[in-house]
Chains A and B, each alone.
Chain A
Amino acid sequence: MSATPDRSPASAQSNPKGEGSPMNTPRSPLLPLPWMLHLTVLAIALAYPFVFPSSFMLNFGVLALFYAFIGQSWNISGGFAGQLSFGHVAFFGAGAYAATIAQMRFGISPWLGLPIAAMAGALVGGIIGVLSFRAGLKGSYFALITLAFAEVLRIVSNSVTITGGGLGMLIPMKPGAANLQFVERSGFYFLILVLVAISIALAEWLRRSKFGAQLAAIRENEDAAKALGINVFREKVKVMLLSGAIGGVGGCFFAQYFLYIDPLIAFGVDKSVEMLLVSMIGGAGTVYGPMVGALLLALVSDGTRALTQIQGLSLVLYGALLVIIIAYLPNGLIDLFARIKARFSRGRH
């Protein structure tokens, strides 16, 4: 179906400098990232709320980390396993609604909402995965069917009463850490930081583990992976469960932070695109790609909002960036750092 018969290997990817190495081993090695890197990033993130205690800067930090988190959800299935999705918001929305419904209709603590959201997201991820992978959908077809699933969920949540329909659900304000509503914004900051740290740990584990290696094999060549004895279907469903769980938790956090969700926020195309963008622009299939992309997204959107009143400018920049990245830096911005580093270390020899 998605045949590209004349894909000549020489022109498969643009390689402006003609340097073979970084392109031939995309998002390559299964080597662990150095501990120093993780510790440095963590130290900076921990210091941030003390250096920038203002409400504006904390909000910026929360949103950047939030996008890093849901971007990682996309990255785990879209980047590490190469299953491009346009409807990742389905997991996010499922988690947001599951936790909020549990809280509003059944009086369950939003702290328990986090695991509930993870399960809801994983469930949706698993169902979409089983159905689509059973039917053998990949590439663009998988991307389109995820979009349709998210759309179905949006319409259903807009039409049934338990979700509050099109009006959405307003979570009553009851400040207090027991209700997952922090009086200080820094409470939300540290919560999302913990979640991001967990997602980074998961991504790092994917880099090192056999599971991650199998996913990389599937991403690069599914038929070859099958020939190697990898149970492609099972591994792909597993990665959807994992990615769905992360997306679901992201939804629960979002609902608690903004105290409101409606069908368009929970299942709209926009968030799917943002999840994809931060991951692709930062570097899909890398541990820190989503964080780099999320930081850039937050900087660009806050920066343009501070400088001008023009609507849509930040996404114009982001859309242009996506095209440029795909053309010249298919492994994302993080690859730029790697290339600069490689050039420096070569220079020293």
Chain B
Amino acid sequence: MDSTIIASAAINGLLLGGIYTLVACGLTLIYGVLHIINFAHGSMLMLAMFGVYYLLTLLGIDPYLSMFIMVPAMFLFGYLLYKGLIGRLASGKDENILLVTLGLSILIENLALMFFKGDSRTILVSYSDRMVELGPTLVAMPKLISFAVAMVLCALLGLFMQRTDTGRAIRAVAKERVGARLVGIDVDRIFAISYGIGLATLGAAACLMMPIFYVSPSVGHVFVLVAFTVVVLGGMGSFLGAVVGGLIIGLTESFGGLYLGESLGQIGISVIFILILLFRPSGLFGARQ
């Protein structure tokens, strides 16, 4: 096959992977700290995307500027959702939380269907069709922007976790809940903050995605399995894993489409997911059991 096509598939795959990385960072944070598999992750992303859509169509706010609204808004939403609902049920079994987040995702998705109707929507901004030359190929500028910003945000999140008191407290809680409580950390508050940050990354991801993707009430389905795959591949709870995993999955999707065709090409992600769970459930960077 022509090397230009391969290079172009690689570049597009990496750019796609950047977005997956950001979505997966939130998921892996929530898992690493709370041990909750947040099944509602996809529907929360959908909600955030509708937020970006309406900020543009009703108020004329540019999707990239919406980030300053969507990130705090999603953080607050996650914080309150955890405090009000998930946290109250969190003392039960692991499976129950999975079911609660499943119930939430059904609820949110169908509420979205009620209010926004089922059709797919896209937005048009002045830079939608602008192309940039990148090596042997042309890429859409919004894709390049989304990749760069996603990487910067992941790095910022990593810095936040390393350098700030809240970040340290989150890591302490993730490692040793009881010990963290003993040294005076308000563990429940940290849980709620972590869930809030997890959703805040979705707010950012939604802003980056709206210029290149569509939104519909069921758009979350597209991302749920992908995000889980990235997290499992990288190792549950590992940020570095989420970044590397995201890029690998982006490449897998791009090359799967290239070699196997549109329909069968999607199979790569599910197969990777199954193989990792069967043979190396700790992922690439996760702690061994």
Contacts and interface: CB of A to CB of B under 8 A. Distances in A.
A145 B270 CA distance: 9
B107 A323 contact: yes
A182 interface: no
A2 interface: yes
Interface stretch (A46-54, A133-141, A189-197, A210-218): A133-141
B98 A323 contact: no
Contacts of A2: 35, 94
Given A84-B98, A132-B278, A140-B95, A323 B118 contact: no
A269 B178 CA distance: 38
Interface of A, secondary structure class, is helix
B278 A131 contact: yes
Given A1-B236, A140-B37, A315-B106, A326 B178 contact: no
B110 A316 contact: yes
A28 interface: no
B287 to A, nearest CB: 9
A255 interface: no
Nearest to B92: A13
Contacts, number: 151
Contacts of B261: 159
B289 interface: yes
A5 interface: yes
B274 A152 contact: yes
Contacts of A137: 277-278, 281
A86 B99 CA distance: 10
A149 B270 CA distance: 7
B230 to A, nearest CB: 13
Interface in A96-154: 131-132, 134-135, 137, 139-141, 143-145, 147-149, 151-152
A319 B106 contact: yes
Contacts of B99: 84, 280, 322, 326
Interface stretch (B1-9, B46-54, B83-91, B124-132): B83-91
A158 interface: yes
A7 interface: yes
A213 B90 CA distance: 29
A21 interface: no
A268 B249 CA distance: 22
A145 B277 contact: yes
A5 B236 contact: no
Contact of A273 (B89, B106, B118): B106
B264 A159 contact: yes
B273 interface: yes
**What are the nearest 10 A-B pairs in CB distance?**
A319-B106, A312-B113, A319-B107, A322-B103, A312-B110, A323-B103, A159-B264, A315-B110, A11-B91, A316-B110
Given A11-B91, A152-B274, A327-B100, 18 more contacts: A1-B236, A1-B289, A14-B89, A132-B277, A134-B278, A144-B37, A144-B232, A144-B273, A152-B270, A155-B267, A156-B267, A159-B264, A318-B106, A319-B105, A319-B106, A319-B107, A323-B104, A323-B107
Interface of B: 35, 37, 85, 88-89, 91-96, 98-100, 102-114, 117-118, 177-178, 217, 221, 225, 228-229, 232, 236, 261, 263-264, 266-267, 270-271, 273-274, 277-279, 281-282, 289
15 contacts: A12-B93, A86-B102, A131-B274, A131-B278, A132-B278, A137-B277, A137-B281, A144-B37, A148-B225, A273-B102, A316-B106, A316-B111, A316-B114, A322-B106, A326-B92
